[in-house]
Every structure is written in C-alpha cells, then in structure tokens.
C-alpha cells in the first residue's frame, strides 16, 4: 500500500470520525456527548482542510470555515447553554442497553462498508475509500437517534448525522456547491434553535424531556 501522504491523513481523519461516532453511541453523559460532538466537528474541519489543500478546491476552505464556526463553536455553545437552562445533566437513558447497541452498531458498519464498496470502485476521487466510513457514521448517528429516550441526545444524534452527510459529500464529490452548504448550515442552526424552544415546551407540558410522553398526544 503506497498512498500519498495526504490520502493517509484523510483516511486517519475518517477513522477518527468513525471512532467518535462509536464513542457518541456508547456515551452515557449528555455533557460528554456535546464535547464529543464538538470534537467530531473539529476532525471534520481537519479532513476538509486536507482535502481542499490536496485537491486545490478553494471553495472547500469556506466550507471548512463554516463547519468550524457552526459545529465546533456555535452549536456546542448553544447546546451547553440549553442543558444548563434545562438542568439536564443526568445520565442518558437508552432504549436498548449499551452493549447491544454496540453490537448493532458493528453490524451497521459492516453493512455500510459493503454498501459503499461498489461505489468506491468506480469513484475517481482520492477520498473514495472513505465513503464507507461516511455511510457508517450516518447510520450510527441514526441508530443513536433511535436508541435514545431523551430529546437532547436525539438532537445531538441528528447533528452528528449531518456531520456524516457532510463528510460523505466531501469524500464522494469534493463537497457540495457553496450555496447548498450555506443552506444546510442555516437549516441546522435554525433547527437547533427551534429544537431548543421546543425542549422548553416539552418540559413545561410533561415536566420531563422523555419523548416517550409524546405518545399520549393523540386526540380522542
């Protein structure tokens, strides 16, 4: 195996992203979950920078800057404020226990790797082999959204899924056009703000953030 050095760096970033996705999946504390999310954003920024430098795609620099401001600084800050205001620092409750979640996670990873293998074969980018990892990150974040009971960790799962999508886009096609990326970034930001307001409403109505209670909202 003799990949150029930057391709090795990108692969390393991809592996770190996968590692962080698993760490988030198995994390019990909300505070650490937010920190892990910020770290994942940081790795994403690093990988975007390496890709943009090695392929001379100047618009990816803006993308990296946008990711840094939004996912490393702004969103974690908002989430930290939120959990302080909501006083939710307790352990995360999961629907399935953590070891079982990990096993499902590894099945998902194998599935994603197999799914991405034929696509990677025909792709011409230097980052083609990381597509499988990006798919795995998306699926793992999805799994996290499914297995968590509390609204805050579900939102973090949603944001992590967006991280995975962005990574998939940069690794498969050297990133989306800047307009699209700006749009997505704005969506995520506004989404988080709305979720924040929503949390307060859920808690006021049910005195808990457990979305299990939402099942009672049926009209009779």
Partner 1 sequence: MNVAGGIVFQVLQSVLVLLLAPLMLGWVNQCRAWLQNRSGAGIWQPYRVLHKLFHKDAVLAHNASPLFRATPYILFGCMWLAVGIVPVLATSLPFAPAADVIALVGLFALARVFVSLAGMDVGTSFGTLGARREMMIGFLAEPAMLMTLFTASLISHSTSLATIVETLGQREFVIYPSMAFAAIAFLMVLLAENARIPIDNPSTHLELTMIHEAMVLEYSARHLALIEWAASLKLTAYITIGIAIFVPWGIAQAGDWAALPVALAALLLKLLAAGAGLALLETLSAKMRIFRAPEFLGTAFLLATLGMLTHFLLER
174 CB-near residues (< 8 Å, 6+ apart): 51, 55, 57, 60, 125, 127
**Angstrom distance (rounded) from CA 40 to CA 163:** 8
Q: Which residue blocks in the chain are alpha helix, DSSP H?
A: 5-26, 30-55, 59-67, 75-86, 98-122, 131-147, 151-173, 178-206
Question: Of residues 20, 22, 153, 209, which one binds partner 1 by CB under 8 A?
Answer: 22
Binding region for partner 1 (CB under 8 A) out of 86-94, 98-106, 181-189, 198-206: 98-106
100 CB-near residues (< 8 Å, 6+ apart): none
Angle, alpha carbons 21-105-211 (nearest 5°): 80
- Binding-site size for partner 1 (CB under 8 A) equals 27
- Nearest-approach distance from CB 112 to partner 1, in angstroms: 10
Contacting partner 1 within 119-138 (CB under 8 A): 129-130, 132-133
**Based on CB atoms, which residue is closest to partner 1, 64 or 112?**
112
**Based on CB atoms, which residue is closest to partner 1, 36 or 155?**
36
Q: Does 32 bind partner 1 (CB under 8 A)?
A: no
Q: Which residues bind partner 1 (CB under 8 A)?
A: 1-3, 8-9, 11-12, 14-16, 18-19, 22, 26, 98-99, 102-103, 105-106, 109-110, 113, 129-130, 132-133
């Amino acid at each position: 195996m003799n990949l150029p050095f930057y391709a090795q760096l990108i692969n390393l970033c991809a592996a770190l992203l996968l590692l962080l996705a698993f760490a988030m999946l198995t994390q019990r504390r909300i505070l650490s979950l937010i920190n892990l999310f910020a770290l994942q954003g940081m790795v994403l920024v690093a990988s975007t920078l390496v890709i943009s430098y090695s392929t001379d795609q100047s618009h990816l620099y803006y993308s990296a800057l946008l990711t840094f401001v939004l996912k490393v600084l702004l969103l974690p800050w908002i989430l930290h404020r939120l959990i302080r205001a909501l006083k939710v620092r307790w352990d995360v409750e999961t629907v399935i226990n953590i070891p079982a979640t990990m096993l499902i996670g590894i099945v998902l990873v194998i599935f994603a790797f197999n799914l991405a293998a034929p696509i990677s074969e025909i792709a011409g980018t230097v980052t083609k082999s990381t597509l499988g990892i990006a798919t795995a990150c998306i699926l793992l974040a999805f799994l996290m959204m499914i297995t968590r009971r509390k609204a805050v960790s579900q939102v973090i799962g949603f944001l992590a899924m967006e991280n995975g999508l962005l990574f998939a886009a940069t690794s498969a096609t050297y990133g989306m056009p800047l307009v699209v990326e700006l749009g997505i970034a704005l969506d995520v930001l506004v989404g988080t703000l709305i979720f924040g307001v929503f949390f307060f409403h859920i808690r006021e109505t049910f005195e808990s953030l457990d979305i299990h209670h939402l099942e009672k909202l049926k009209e009779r």
